[in-house]
Structure 1
Amino acid sequence: MLSGTFSARAYAFFDTLLWIAGLNLLWIAFTLVGAGVLGAGPATAAAHIVVRRRIAGDGAPLLRGFTSAYFRNFARANLLSIPVTAATVALVLNWNYFAGGGGFAQYMAAAVLVAAIFMAGTVCYLFPMYARYELALPQYLLMSSRFAVRHLAGTVILLFVSAAVVYASSCLPGLVPFFSIGAWLYLTGWLCDRFFAANDRSVAIAAGPAPGSPLHGASTA
């Protein structure tokens, strides 16, 4: 019995690793299909949709599910990712401008760093929220930023996971084309799914079912 349980867990572990590697390659390939800038948003949305399906026990083929989600959400996911891309560019430009200065410039650089950390926390929730709830596009940015502030413990965990993936990738660059992106997408999607489920339960207990609540929409997956 113990041997059978170990074998089952080992199989599940390596099956998940293989699935993550496939997700990683698909994200890179479909980002390139969209010429990078126009492909990253839909690829990230598609990745979180298939991650959520897998977490729910859906055994559908990864390639078919990813491809379908990518093209179905291409325009909408790009509209969602454009403000994030613009904000990222603005933060990088401001950091480069203020980081080398002294006095007041150092305070501004610190402010830019705080804003970047806040945005990183918001982005960790953004596409998992897109995969789970049906909202108006501006609501995703608003609700993910609010969730990042109100659930600081979860946000810290997501930022720690993101930093760990970046650090591991910098130490072992060979991970990037095979595991790094897929691992980040899977781990953040898995964590966010649990954070959102816990939040939904607490809201339901405190206020009862609220069909009009922004965090009680139907899944887009």
Structure 2
Amino acid sequence: MLAGSFSAKAYSFFDTVLWIACLNLLWLVFSLAGLGVLGVGPATAAAQILVRRRVRGEAAPLLRSFTVEYGRNFGRGNGLALPVLLAGAALALNWNYFSRSGDLLSQLMAAGAFVAAIFLVAVACHLFPMFARYELPLPQYLLMSSRFALRHLAGTAILLFVTAAVLFASQALPGLIPFFSVGAWLYVTGWLCDRFFTANDESVTGAAGDAAARDAAGTARPAVMAGAPAA
């Protein structure tokens, strides 16, 4: 029994590793197909949609599904990614400019750009998993991702740690980049965000249920307490 359970877990693990490698390859190919700047957004959107399906246990042909979601979300994916890419480029240029100066004001500006870049990465970690899960007007995704990143700091810290770990591993072993780096980051952040969003939805639903129960109790309370003496 234990041997069978171990074999099943080992098969599931290696199947997931292979799936991540294929996802990584597809993301690179389709990003290049959009000349990089115009391909990153729809490729990331397609990847996160497929990550969520896999997390939910839905089986689908990876190549065909990725191709369909890439084409379907080409415009909206770029609508999400391009503002983030432009903001990231602006922050990088500002940090590079101010960090070269030795005066206090320039160093403060460089530090501010660095902090803003970290927050932008936190928003980006939530952005496409949120796109894969919820139907919102396009501008709302950036707003809601920013709010979620600020309100759930523990989860945001975990996502930033995962991002830093992937960057460190990719720098130490550049051979990971064409096979695992992006795919692993997409899968882990997508899996974590799906858990975070589920917990948040359950919390909101529970709070709404409690509020409804209090409202119902409030309507009944005057009849029960009608004979109570006034304070």
Q: Structure 2-normalised TM-score?
A: 0.89
Structure 2 counterpart of 1:136, one-letter code: P
Q: One-letter code of the match for 1:33?
A: A
The equivalent residue for 1:25 is 25
> Amino acid of the residue matched to residue 158 of structure 2?
I
What residue in structure 2 maps to residue 196 of structure 1?
A: 197
Q: Return 5+ residue gaps in structure 2 as ranges.
A: 211-231
Q: Partner letter of residue 54 of structure 2?
A: R
Identify the residue that residue 35 of structure 2 maps to in structure 1: 35
* Secondary structure of the corresponding residue to residue 135 of structure 2: coil
Q: Deviations over 1:10-54 (max 9, x none)?
A: 000000000000000000000011011000000000000000000
Cα RMSD for the two superposed structures: 0.9
- Structure 2 distance, partners of 1:207, 1:90, is 41
Distance 1:25 1:159 in 2: 23
For residues 41-100 of structure 1, the C-alpha deviation after alignment (integer angstroms, 9 at most, x for no partner) is 000000000000000101111111111110000011111111111101110110111011
Establish whether residue 82 from structure 1 lines up as the match of residue 82 from structure 2.
Answer: yes
Please identify the structure whose Cα radius of gyration is greater. Answer: 2
Q: Which runs of 5+ in 1 are unaligned?
A: 210-221
In the TM superposition, residue 208 of structure 1 has moved relative to its aligned partner by: 3.9
Higher relative contact order (CA 8 A, sep 6+): 1
**Alignment partners' CA distance in 1, 2:124 and 2:60:** 27
Residue 207 of structure 1 deviates from its aligned partner by: 1.6
Amino acid of the residue matched to residue 197 of structure 1? T
Could you list the per-position Cα deviations for residues 100-125 of structure 1 after superposition, in whole angstroms to 9, with x for gaps in the alignment?
11211000111011100111101000
**AA aligned opposite 1:81:** A
Which residue of 1 is the match for residue 148 of structure 2?
147
Query: Residue in 2 aligned with 1:132?
Result: 133
Cα deviation code 1:142-170 (max 9, x no counterpart): 00000000000000000000000000000
In 2: Cα distance, 1:132 partner to 1:19 partner: 20
Match of 1:216 in 2: none
Write the distance in 2 (CA, Å) between the matches of 1:208 and 1:39: 43
Q: What is the aligned residue count?
A: 209
* Paired-residue identity, %: 69
- 1:110 equivalent to 2:101? Answer no
| Residues 41-120 of structure 1 aligned to structure 2 (within 5 Å) | 41-102=41-102, 103-120=104-121
Matched residue type, 1:76: R
CA drift of 1:138 comes to 0.6
Distance in 2 separating the partners of 1:119 and 1:81: 12
